[in-house]
Chain A
């Protein structure tokens, strides 16, 4: 019940494409869903986060879509650029868990 399942494991898109990364969770106590971006040799950095009281959140070219009934959320990257090539992690947490549970990660490559 503590797992967060992320797909796909890897993704290749052309510049300007819209990669979509999906995550699913089981624990209905989760109330905070962040996405992290990690470049090689660096720690993950917070990209964008959503709470279950909204169905969508946009920050620049990054959008989270949230489906509470399906217990799924996804990250969309609009007008993707080669500089977006990185590993993306979804996560879920709550005040009860005291920690974030991370998905397995998606390696994104954006070709010029």
Chain B
């Protein structure tokens, strides 16, 4: 597609439920990133996939968070047993270059999934 597509755009869930957030990157982009943006806060890194390499999971806040990327394309971020503090906008980005600064260097972000845990 022309851009990074994320679904759903909004998700309201009850505390304790599991949620899955989907990201469809730009075709051919080898790098895929998940970030979290809480109200009035910056972008918090969660996880990074690059090709067939092991993902960089160093930003995942707890073992309730996991992500996978199937076939080097679509990625799913799963949050188990959601808590109210998980409420945030979850942003996915993809990049043609394997790491920042290479090639054009820029990320293309999706519009995000706004998660509300009630």
A residues at B contact (CB < 8 Å): 6, 31-32, 34, 36, 41-46, 49, 51, 89, 91, 93-95, 97-105
Contacts and interface: CB of A to CB of B under 8 A. Distances in A.
A94 B101 contact: yes
Interface string B41-67: 111110010100000100000000000
B105 A49 contact: yes
B21 interface: no
Interface stretch (B12-20, B78-86, B109-117): B109-117
B96 interface: no
Q: Interface range on chain B: under 10, 10 to 19, 20 to 34, or 35 or more?
A: 20 to 34
A43 B110 contact: yes
Given A43-B109, A43-B110, A45-B109, A101 B101 contact: no
Contact of A31 (B98, B101, B109): B101
Chain B interface helix/strand/loop/mixed = loop
A25 B107 CA distance: 20
Contacts of A41: 111
A44 B109 contact: yes
B7 interface: no
A98 B111 contact: no
B93 interface: yes
Nearest to A10: B40
A32 B105 contact: yes
Shortest Cβ-Cβ A-B pairs, 5 listed: A32-B101, A93-B100, A43-B109, A46-B106, A102-B43
25 contacts: A32-B101, A43-B93, A43-B109, A43-B110, A43-B111, A43-B112, A44-B43, A44-B109, A46-B107, A46-B108, A89-B43, A94-B100, A95-B102, A97-B100, A98-B48, A98-B56, A99-B48, A100-B45, A100-B100, A100-B107, A102-B44, A102-B45, A104-B41, A104-B42, A105-B43
